[in-house]
Structure 1
Amino acid sequence: MASKGTGLDLSGRVGRLLTGRKKGMAFQVLHYEEFPLDQGQPSVPVGKAYVGLTGRDLTLKYTKVPQVPDWQLHRLIDFEVQEIATQAKNPLSSDYNLLPGSEPGSGEDTILLALAKTDSLNEVVDRVRSWRGEAIAFTPNAVALYNAFLMAGPVDEDAVRFLAWIGETSLDLALVQGTTLLFARNVSGGLKVLDDAIGSAFNVREERARRIRAELLSLDPAQMGKFGSSQEEKVAHSVQGVVGQFQAGMRSTVAFCQSQTGNREIKISEVLLCGPGAKVRGMDRFLERSMGAPVRIWNPVSEIDLSACPPEDAQALEAAGPMSVIALGLSMTPCFDELYSIEILPESVRRKRRFMERTVWNIAAAVLLLASLGFFFLRAKERSLTYQSLARKLGGRAKVALSLHQKTSELIQNNNKAREKLEAMEALLVPLHGAVRDLRSLRAHLPLDLWLRTIRSEYAAADWLATSKGTGRRRVPKRNLIRTDGRGKPISGRPLETVYAEFKRAMDAEVPFLRDTVTQGKPFRFTLQSDYLFVKPAAGSSGEGTDENQRAGK
């Protein structure tokens, strides 16, 4: 099963190229384009493509065979193909598959056999090669129509749906019950019979007849006798003798299916119309009258993932709608194992595939044997070279590690020297700087009731930065502090406690950390310790033991 598939529909005047990929259980379109077949070619390389077959180049045949092993069944089918090729006096390419609707327990299987002229296939192979591509298989359009229905159709277990593709030169038809293929068929004719009739009536060429059909033809039975112009009436009358071929081809397909399956009670629940014929005005209502079942124009594009498709390609695909069904079914076929597969291969492609599947493996086995012998011969030498290379790499890594160790040791020594210098600068800076700031604050806030006795710098324990060691003991760092001793006496008549409290609040606002000790009585004594290296913590955290304070206290 491939993850990506390309379908190439060459059944009309316009070629349709569609590339997509499997995404989970869905199908995602990657590219779509239309191009004229008479003198155009795709804008991108075609790549490996599944090409559709229809019309006079294809024959679909049903054969009942006994239930035998696959190898024996293959011989039976080959014998029948040779008989048909002898009668046709032309080489034929073929493929077959069991019809899903075969009755179990009957002792027989129904085989759907597809045959095509090898010369016609080779012409298409050469044409696709000129488009920078490869036709890896040919699939009947009716089978591609069925596969597109399985992936994007309105599946109902009991409903019997008639899938009808009306092309320019042929009709591709399939009868499906639930998800089971009952019958598939292609019928020559298509819209060309309408164009020929219009061209004969108006004495115009085929291109002009197609334009008249697109602009003026209406097959809606409700509009008979109510035409908008005499030209429309004339066009409608010109095709009356041939338009019944569509109804006849579809009704005969139902009759053949009833005969093939032995079920005369098959009743069509719905007809899904697609292809260029779906663009003819009133075609659905015209067929509905003869089929005895509702006819709906089927556009599967709405059920397909277009998220990976370029916008211009997605717009073209949505505009094509029912005319993209065959290309869609062909591109889906290689991506899903559960889809019905008939792959007709011309002899050149078959030989290439046989070479890729069989001969190439024998060559690969011989090459592998020679490689194994060479491997054992060179193994010892390779190990020696590997060990030598590893020794060189380890020696280089050792040199790098030694160099890093030396540089790291030098950095540690430089850091220690820098820290010693910082500590020495701190010892010189804090006493003078702290004393000046303390005196400035005291001058601004010291009341008449308090006076100073001494102010000095001291290297003392800062127990407010104490931390606990793992042994449970507390570690108390030392740092340079400014100590102020003072006395107090009630001169202003206010209580000394109140005066001191106001003084303390004013000092706290200007000193990073201030610790005081008060002795009540006579005389009133107080001691202040100012820590100008203290870093105030952020809101919501504790100031003691922060990293900055600990570093400052080392």
Structure 2
Amino acid sequence: MPRTSTGVDIGHRSAVFLRGHAKGNTFVATDYAFGTHRSDDVASAWEQAAPDFKPTGARVGITGREVNLRYSRVPRLADWQLRKLMRFEVEEVGGSSDAQVAADFNVLPEMPEIEGEDVVLLAMARESLLEAHEEGLAAVGGRLDAFTPNAVALYNAWLRFGVVMDDTVLLANIGHENTDVVLVRGADLVFARNLSGGSKLFDDAIASRLNCDAARAEKIKQESVDLTPGARYLDSTAEKVSRAGLAPAGQILGLLQSTLAFAKSQVKISSLKLDRVFICGGGARLKGLDRYLSSAMSVPVAPFEPFTVVDVSKLSPEAQRALEAHELESVVALGLAHAGSDPEAYSVEIVPAALQRKREFLGRKAFLIAAAVVGLAYIGWSVVEKRAELTDLRGQISRLSTQVRSRERVNSETEQLMAENEELAAVAGELYGMAASGTQLARTLRLLDRHLPDGFWITDLTSTFATDEEFGADRGEKIPVLSIEGRAEEGVEPNTARFQRLLGALQVGFPTAVVRGGLSPDQRRFNLTLSLLAEREDDATTEPDDENVQGG
């Protein structure tokens, strides 16, 4: 029986619920609900949501400032090593922002430009955002499966229902306050990101131009704005508001163009060249926006309409009409629902810590019940067996002796396994240290590349494992330590000031690390020693540099 899932996309102006299951190369929609509202936060949006069916097995889309998508290039590691490395990244971000976060990650498809390394997409979201969604879902009778970033859902919708070729495609879901974008090369995901800015930019511009409220501006936008290059307007009002819309249209254009540049920087693939652009979401309905973007970007731009290959025959006539009217706003919900029902979909599943603990507890409870049933059955069997054994004491002694020998053999094998486990644990620790050392080296070189003063150069760089009380490893535990030596030429500014600024940049970039260093008496040589795995006693909470944490 196919697994049924509900895709839920809650925004500040609309709520989309799409329920169904994957079937072969298509998706069978069984329930659909679309509603509009005006809200400023997730909680009030949920209060106005009213689907006419229970959204069980819900895969809820998340976006906005409280969702963080970041990328890491790492050596190809075993799954358990990669999980530990990502846990370290999440703890670093959570500690620096002083907020509880939930996270999940997945490896991007292999890229021919990157040999011997993987690119990991790490998605993090504030627990407060997830709690607001979970409470709203429960209020409408739903049950949570997981949270997934809207950008990942957009990729899954394209992968299954788009016209996939070998070119590079940018997909953008333009919402009211946020825009979710993905870059896809062929069938492979290259980059996913959530951006601040959406169709509200047009509302604000029109409201300012006409001196009216936001609701009136939104209605005028839908009725009168035309961004088609060279458009002829019906009246002066249409011309005025259309010209007012050119500035926010330019901002949307800038967001899309910056995505390609940022992807090249984050994933380190300089050869990316855009071939096609598809837009969806409520903002994609703005008349002429596709032609405006196409003219500015010099590539074809078209609406993304995946529902032409979706089976909607099981929907009621009313639901079919609603879906037909709001296809562009329902793309993310389709990607969410399909990913929840198709085990082969690209998966990023964020689960709140409280729900994760509950699921683990229920799993243990089921195991304990099964163990109790087995135990009771064993006791009943043992009583009958012991009554029979009373008639033959000698046979009982023989059987008990056999059991003792068996227990002794099991005990001996257990002790041997424990010794082997200790050896494996030591090897695992060394491997994790090597991975951490490599990550530490890469991140330090990236930061030095940005902040090493002019006239400073590195003459010696050594990565070792050391035991040092100052680095928080005073019980004989070895941690990776990076030692750097270099030379400095005198400039207009004293070397002492430039070196102190370099130390400050390192400490800001690595807020939880211990960094030591100094200049020689003649100020022509310097040295640095640092460890990202050390624990500073002051536990600084300075925000990390902008390349390590991607904004929402």
Q: How far apart are the structure 2 equivalents of 1:379 and 1:164?
A: 71
1:368 matched to 2:373? The reply is yes
After superposition, where does 1:408-423 map in structure 2 within 5 Å? Answer: none
Q: How does 1:348-427 map to 2 (within 5 A)?
A: 348-357=354-363, 359-373=364-378, 376=381
Q: 1:168 and 1:105, CA in 2 relative to 1: closer, same or farther beyond 3 A? A: closer
What residue number does 2:121 align with? Answer: 112
Cα distance, 1:295 vs structure 2: 0.6
Residue 345 of structure 1 deviates from its aligned partner by 1.2
User: Is contact 1:136–1:349 with CA below 8 Å preserved after alignment?
Assistant: no
What is the CA deviation profile of residues 256-309 of structure 1, one whole-angstrom value per residue up to 9, with x for unaligned ones?
Answer: 222334333322221111111221000100110222210111111111011222
Looking at structure 2, the residues matched to 319 and 332 of structure 1 have their Cα atoms a distance apart, in angstroms, of 20
Closer, same or farther: CA 374–44 of 1 in aligned 2, 3 Å? farther
In structure 2, C-alpha distance between the alignment counterparts of 1:163 and 1:79, rounded to whole Å: 31
Unpaired segments ≥5 residues, structure 2:
37-44, 386-552
Hey, what does 1:344 align to over in structure 2?
350
Look up the match of 1:209: 217
Query: What is the CA–CA distance in structure 2 between the aligned matches of 1:97 and 1:115, rounded to whole Å?
Result: 12
What is the alpha-carbon distance in structure 1 between the residues aligned to residue 316 and residue 383 of structure 2?
Answer: 52
- Tell me, which stretches of 5 or more residues in structure 1 are unaligned? 381-554
SS of the residue 1:317 aligns to: helix
SS in 2 for 1:183: strand
Whether the 8 Å CA contact 1:220–1:282 is kept in 2: the answer is: yes
> After TM superposition, what 4+ stretches of structure 1 lie above 3 angstroms from structure 2?
101-105, 260-263, 374-380
Contact 1:20 1:28 in 2 (8 A): yes
Corresponding residue to 1:48 among 49, 52, 57 = 57
**Considering only CA atoms, is the larger Rg found in Structure 1 or Structure 2?**
1
Question: What is the CA distance between 1:367 and its match in structure 2?
Answer: 2.7
* C-alpha displacement of 1:374: 6.3
Aligned residue identity for 2:30? L
Q: Which residue of 1 aligns with 2:205?
A: 197
Letter in 1 for 2:171: L
Question: 2:73 corresponds to which residue?
Answer: 64
Q: Does 1:171 align with 2:179?
A: yes
Name the SS for the 2:378 alignment partner: helix
**AA of the residue aligned to 1:326:** V
Q: CA deviation at 1:109?
A: 1.2
**1:127 to 2:136 alignment:** yes
Compute the displacement of 1:183 (Å): 0.7
Query: Is 2:100 the partner of 1:91?
Result: yes
- Spell out the pairing of 1:236-385 with structure 2 (5 A cutoff): 236-357=242-363, 359-373=364-378, 376=381
Show the counterpart of 1:184: 192
Name the aligned partner's letter for residue 194 of structure 1: F
Q: Does 1:32 align with 2:52?
A: no
SS in 1 for 2:143: strand
RMSD between superposed Cα atoms in Å: 2.1
Q: Residue 370 of structure 1 aligns to which amino acid in structure 2?
A: G
CA distance 1:192–1:378, change in 2 (3 Å): farther
Aligned to 2:504: none
CA distance in 2, matches of 1:104, 1:73: 21
Q: Indicate the percent of aligned positions where both proteins have the same amino acid.
A: 38
Could you say what secondary structure the match of 2:53 adopts?
coil
What is the rounded CA distance, in whole Å, between the counterparts of 1:286 and 1:165 in structure 2? 16
The CA distance in 1 between the partners of 2:290 and 2:91, in whole Å, is: 41
Task: Please report how far the alpha carbon of residue 160 of structure 1 lies from its aligned counterpart in structure 2 after TM superposition.
Answer: 1.3
Q: What is the match of residue 500 of structure 2? A: none
Q: Cα–Cα, structure 1 residues 22 and 221, in superposed 2: closer, same or farther, change >3 Å?
A: same
How big is the shift at 1:379? 9.8
Question: Compared with structure 1, are the counterparts of its residues 263 and 73 closer, same or farther at alpha carbon in structure 2 (3 Å cutoff)?
Answer: closer
Q: Using the alignment, how far apart are the partners of 1:139 and 1:349 within structure 2?
A: 15
Q: Deviations over 1:469-500 (max 9, x none)?
A: xxxxxxxxxxxxxxxxxxxxxxxxxxxxxxxx
Cα distance change of structure 1 residues 126 and 378 upon mapping to structure 2, 3 Å threshold: farther
- Deviation digits for residues 523-554 of structure 1, max 9, x if unmatched? xxxxxxxxxxxxxxxxxxxxxxxxxxxxxxxx
1:205-247 deviation per Cα after TM superposition (whole angstroms, max 9, x unaligned): 2111110100111111121xx3211101110222333321111
CA distance in 1, matches of 2:114, 2:48: 53
Relative distance call for 1:331 and 1:378 in structure 2 (3 A) is farther
Task: Output the CA distance in 1 between the equivalents of 2:18 and 2:382.
Answer: 52
Worse-matched range after superposition: 310-319 or 166-175: 310-319
Task: Tell me if the contact between 1:11 and 1:52 (Cα under 8 Å) persists in the aligned partners.
Answer: no
| Secondary structure in 2 matching 1:47 | coil
SS at match of 1:242: helix
The answer to whether the 8 Å contact 1:101/1:182 transfers is no
For residue 103 of structure 1, report the CA deviation from its aligned partner.
4.4
In structure 1, give the amino acid aligned to 2:336. L
Distance, in Å, in 2 between the alignment partners of 1:258 and 1:277 is: 26
DSSP 3-state at the match of 1:243: helix
Alignment partner of 1:145 is 2:154? yes
1:10-37 per-position Cα deviation (integer Å, ceiling 9, x unaligned): 1231100000112234210001111243
Bigger RCO of structures 1 and 2 (CA < 8 A, at least 6 apart):
2
- Note the alpha carbon deviations across 1:45-94, whole angstroms, 9 max, x for none: 22120100111121110111222221121111111111111111111111
- Counterpart in the other structure of 1:520: none
Q: What SS does the corresponding residue of 1:308 show, helix, strand or coil?
A: coil
Q: Deviations over 1:433-471 (max 9, x none)?
A: xxxxxxxxxxxxxxxxxxxxxxxxxxxxxxxxxxxxxxx
Q: Read off the aligned partner of 1:152 and give its amino acid letter.
A: F
Deviations 1:189-216 (A, max 9, x none): 1011111111122222211111010011
Shift of 1:136: 2.2
Change (3 A) 1:147 1:374: same
Shift in alpha-carbon separation, 1:101–1:296, aligned structure 2, 3 A: farther
Rounded to whole Å, the distance in 2 between the matches of 1:108 and 1:320 is: 41
Match of 2:90 in 1: 81
- 1:173 deviates by 0.5
| Pair 1:379–1:265, CA change in 2 (3 A) | same
Answer yes or no: is the 8 Å Cα contact 1:11–1:53 preserved in 2: no
Measured in 2, the distance between the counterparts of 1:300 and 1:58 equals: 26
Alpha carbons of structure 1 residues 197 and 378: separation in structure 2 relative to 1, 3 Å: farther
Q: TM-score, normalised by structure 2?
A: 0.65
